[in-house]
Amino acid sequence: MGLTLGEGGTPLVGADRMSERLGCELFLKCEGLNPTGSFKDRGMAVAVSRAVEDGVRAVVCASTGNTAASAAAYAARAGLLAVVLEPEGAVASGKLAQARALGAKVLEVRGSFDDALDAARELGSRGDFALVNSLSPHRIEGQKAAAHELVDELGGAPDALALPYGGGGNTRAYFKGFSEAGALPRFVLGQAADRAKTVASAIRITAPAHADAVQEALMATSGVVVTLADAEILEAWRALAHEEGVFCEPASAASVAGLLKRAAAGADLSQSTAVCVLTGSGLKDPDTAMTVDAVRHETAARVGDVERVLGW
């Protein structure tokens, strides 16, 4: 048996209200339904399998949270130690809880994600550790399966594929998968205007490791990068939850925000099919959710009081 927790095969759901707003047929690829709640599981299953074959003592990664949670789960299953380096104070609470609960050695680094990645790379070059960041080609191999799934489900590539753009590993993986399938969508990448400080902590990365591959994907598909203020990301995040019943993490909504911004700028999306990849579950980042929807309603446990609070 290979190393698996049942990753992949995530739901592709139609989004009627957002489709109407955009003037196209929009589908949401719900990657938050992977075993640890993000797409990272697709690649991690492969990367940790290889680490076992290579006989290392531990896996190591730098992470804004989801890579760490995923590495922790697959390493636990494989009987390996996971050492994760996370920027101190910058990881959403659900992700931090996951990595700890799954038995990883969580080291909070005084510095940014980019600093943590430099350290992880150096450890990964020493033989004892396998680096399981997306710099590992095994991660890309695992993650590209999502593109093949979309081609199978839609009978071809969509016209547009929208993704959040953090380090660009996932963009690279989708581009590889679609290229293999011989069907390329136009890539629409949503990135944070303030990469160092965005509320979308999963894409709080200032130096995208896969910038060259991302450039290649954009050239090959007439793709675009859409730069987004936090308010635009949160607006899309809220609309997904309130209008479609899909609770993703803020970074994931950068995909939808990218499409909305293009539509608002006059891009004609009519007659087209688009897929937004919702990369992670909303349960990862309860603090942002509670801050954005901060209003509490209190009531006594009496029907009259409930009705008064509702204003009925």
Ligand X SMILES: *Cc1c(COP(=O)(O)O)cnc(C)c1O
Amino acid at 165: Y
Among 166, 177, 185, 258, binds ligand X (CB under 6 A): 166
Stretch that binds ligand X, among 14-22, 98-106, 163-171, 296-304 (CB under 6 A): 163-171
Q: Quick check: 258 binds ligand X (CB under 6 A)?
A: no
Among 164, 185, 223, 258, binds ligand X (CB under 6 A): 164
Cβ distance to ligand X smaller for residue 171 or 221: 171
Listed residue (200, 129, 205, 201) closest to 169, CA to CA = 205
Q: Quick check: 134 binds ligand X (CB under 6 A)?
A: yes
Q: Quick check: 165 binds ligand X (CB under 6 A)?
A: yes
Cβ distance to ligand X smaller for residue 66 or 221: 66
Q: Quick check: 251 binds ligand X (CB under 6 A)?
A: yes
Q: Quick check: 221 binds ligand X (CB under 6 A)?
A: no
| Rg of the chain taking only CA atoms, in angstroms | 20
Q: What tokens appear for 223 in the block?
A: 């793709």
Q: Quick check: 190 binds ligand X (CB under 6 A)?
A: no
Q: Give pairs for 8-12: CB < 8 Å, separation 24+.
A: 8/34, 8/41, 8/42, 8/145, 8/146, 8/149, 9/149, 10/34, 10/146, 10/149, 12/149, 12/150, 12/153, 12/154, 12/275
Among 252, 256, 273, 289, binds ligand X (CB under 6 A): 252
Q: What tokens appear for 224 in the block?
A: 């675009």
Stretch that binds ligand X, among 12-20, 43-51, 248-256, 258-266 (CB under 6 A): 248-256
Cβ distance to ligand X smaller for residue 232 or 249: 249
Among 35, 43, 190, 280, binds ligand X (CB under 6 A): 280
Listed residue (58, 45, 143) closest to 107, CA to CA = 58
Q: Which residue bears the tokens 């995040």?
A: 237
Taking CA atoms, 190 is separated from 174, 266, 299, in Å, by 15, 17, 41
Q: Quick check: 36 binds ligand X (CB under 6 A)?
A: no
Q: Look at residue 59 and give its three-state secondary structure.
A: strand
Q: Quick check: 169 binds ligand X (CB under 6 A)?
A: yes
Which residues here bind ligand X, judged by CB under 6 A?
A: 38, 40, 66, 134, 164-171, 202-203, 249, 251-252, 279-280
